[in-house]
Amino acid sequence: MMTLLIDNSPVLIPLIFLATALLIPVVAAKRKTLAWPLAFWATIAVVAVSIFNVRRVICDGPVHYRLGNWAPPIGIEYVLDHLSAFVILVINSVALLVLLHAKKVVARELPHKRVPYYAAVILMLCGFNGIVITGDLFNLYVFLEISALSLYGLIAAGEKQSPVAAFRYLIMGTIAASFYLLGVGFLYMETGSLNMADVKAILPTVIDQPAILVALVLMVLGMGIKMALFPMHGWLPDAYTYAPTTSSAIIAPTGTKVGAYVMLRVMFFVFGVNFVSKTLPLTQIISWLSAIAIIYGSVLAIAQKEMKRMLAYSSVAQIGYIGLGIGLANPMALIGALFHVLNHAFMKACLFLVAGNFRYKLGHSNVSRLTDAVRKKMPWTMAAFTVAALSMVGLPPLSGFFSKLFLILGAYENSAWYFIVIIFISSLLNAVYFFRILEKVYMRPRIPVPGQEEETDVKRDEVSASMLLPTLILAAGLIIFGILNAFIVKGIINFMIPAGM
Amino acid sequence: MLKSTLDFILGHYAYWFTFILLVIGLYGMMMKKNLVQKLIGMTIFQVSVIIFYIAGASKWGGTVPVIEESLLHAAHVQLPDPAHYINPLPHTLMLTAIVVGVATTGVAFALVISIYKRYKTLNEDALLKKMREDKNDDLTD
């Protein structure tokens, strides 16, 4: 039994999620309270499998799993290498913490939709994990649509405007997926294979065909929309703002990362570093778009009054860092991008959970209405917010500093000084929009409002432990990753650098 | 020169039509104001991708890639040359893509119904105007 589980550990990840997603509506049909435990325990199981998989990859090297024992390229292959094992662990651990937080929030925000909501969350996670683990280009498309369809539902469950935001995302997401599918079609017609490793092996023989270039451009374009790379980010702010708290907290850290992962996988592991950076100015275009995204997202984040919308624009900027690391296409920059995948997942999840805590206790998350009462009312939430905010700005002991450091080193290696300037400017802009809140809550002396009696003692009114714990764990994670950055980079990220870079 | 260009255009006519469909679909999704019209554009767009795959797999004088056991031993039956077999994989892939397309359209219509119930309109401009009014209400309270 144990060996059976161990042999099949790669396939267990999407399988557990898929089975749970189908199980939830059946089991919880009568007793709605069962939906959350099912989703939660399934995610715990998957996190355990993910940790085991990371260990397995580090000890034994990449695992190639044949689905149904059909040998590739005919069968579908699941590839568990350092990159996919790492991204899967990041996605699932963030999802687990957000789900822990979700119990009370969903019970309050969506009391009647609990069962389908959790089923959709689990189905979306199934899609994300499938995208990351599969080694087959068409299988990836199917998982992409599984995750996207559940995503639309998760977004549309929110406020009054949310279906409109979801509809816009649906249009953009379908364009993205169709572009990707079209690219796969061109690639398949030239190479006759859908297996990533096989395509990579065949590509050198047909590399002069213009269709290969078209395939690459279409696939990168599609993934650019999915990861919300500037100027294809239009769907993101509305979707994150109007979605329910849990949806935005789970989508923001995972969804766009998966898009970035596919872009990375396709560009460097299928087409190869040489082809991507020599034949076309593609990597340059991506790094410039990312640089614009970094500045544009940060500036617009400053202009927002609503905290969730501010975080959404900040996501556009943070995706820019990952895109910049991909675009610079050298080992240091790529380490920065991959480390930022981890950091940004934890930072954004933490910040969205803080916004959720504010909404839960204060009834709003409007930046202009936050006062110094918050620091007495919710000291721990504010502490988590402060850690995540400082990490976003990039203060040294926190992990956000190190991803920026690696990116700067990568830009230095390419002698691209302008990107270093952009990273510095964006750090300052980040500081502006986060210190705006910190200043309001911690620094501003209380101004007595005439005609309104002063609240002398604000009662402590912190959210309950099940909501506070994940927020604090995420914040603590940022400190730990910062301290252990060399260990993480040397232990696992170093092995993700594709051949020929 | 002219002949080869003409041959190129005529030889790839299926792709030209696919391309035109693709552009019509994109135009519908981007430019039309009504949400249902956008959805029609989306369907056209998805169908064009499906036709692209099918066109790529087709060949003149092709046949189904099926070997009938009973025919193998019958002397008078000429088995088709394997080179004439039509690649079945793109067709199978597109079956999946069609299913995905149907699911997407279903979700999209559910969203459209939900939007109509809340805003009583499907025109994008009117929707944006109403959404902005909602937002102003949020800020004043």
**Angle A390-A394-A397 (CA atoms, 0-180°, nearest 5)?**
80
List of chain A residues whose C-beta atoms are within 8 Å of the C-beta of residue B125:
none
- 3-class DSSP state of A340: helix
Tell me the C-alpha to C-alpha distance, in Å, between residue B24 and each of B38, B94, B103, B124: 11, 20, 22, 19
pLDDT at B140 over 50: no
Q: What are phi and psi of A498, to 5 degrees?
A: -70, 155
**Which residues are CB-contacts of A166 (< 8 A; sequence separation ≥ 6)?**
A152, A153, A155, A156, A239, B111
pLDDT tens per residue, range A309-318: 999 999 999 9
Tell me, what's the pLDDT at A225?
A: 92
pLDDT at A278 over 50: yes
| Helix residue ranges, H only, A363-464 | 373-377, 379-393, 399-413, 417-438
Domains of chain B: 2-59+86-140 (1.10.287.3510)
pLDDT tens per residue, range B30-79: 899 999 999 999 999 999 999 999 988 887 777 787 776 766 676 666 66
Question: CA–CA separation, B62 vs B83, rounded Å?
Answer: 8
A167/B46 CB distance under 8 A: no
Tell me, what's the pLDDT at A313?
A: 92
- 3-class DSSP state of A198: helix
Look up residue B123 and give its amino acid.
N
A164/B127 CB distance under 8 A: yes
Task: Say how many C-beta atoms besides its own lie within 10 A of residue A169's C-beta.
Answer: 27
List of chain B residues whose C-beta atoms are within 8 Å of the C-beta of residue A178:
45-46, 49
Point out which residues pair with A195 in neighbouring strands. Answer: A136
Point out which residues pair with B63 in neighbouring strands. Answer: B85
DSSP code string of A48-93: HHHHHHHHHHHHH--EEEEGGGPPTTTS-EEEE-HHHHHHHHHHHH
pLDDT tens per residue, range A364-380: 888 878 777 788 888 88
Question: CA–CA separation, A388 vs A405, rounded Å?
Answer: 17
ipTM of the complex: 0.90
**Angle A168-A171-A175 (CA atoms, 0-180°, nearest 5)?**
140
Nearest residue, CB atoms, B100 vs list A142, A163, A182? A142
On average, the pLDDT of chain A sits at 88
Tell me, what's the pLDDT at A340?
A: 92
**Token pair for A92:** 């699932």
DSSP code string of A461-480: -PPPHHHHHHHHHHHHHHHH
Tell me, what's the pLDDT at B79?
A: 67
List of chain A residues whose C-beta atoms are within 8 Å of the C-beta of residue B15:
none
Pairwise pLDDT comparison (A136 vs B60), residue with the higher score: A136
Closest by Cα among B126, B42, B134, B129 to A242: B134
CA of B35, closest CA in chain A: separation in Å? Answer: 9
A175/B29 CB distance under 8 A: yes
Percent of chain A residues topping a pLDDT of 90: 50
- 3-class DSSP state of B123: strand
Confidence class of residue A452 from pLDDT cuts 50, 70 and 90? Answer: low
Interface of B with A in 38-57 (CB under 8 A): 38, 42, 45-46, 49, 52-53, 56
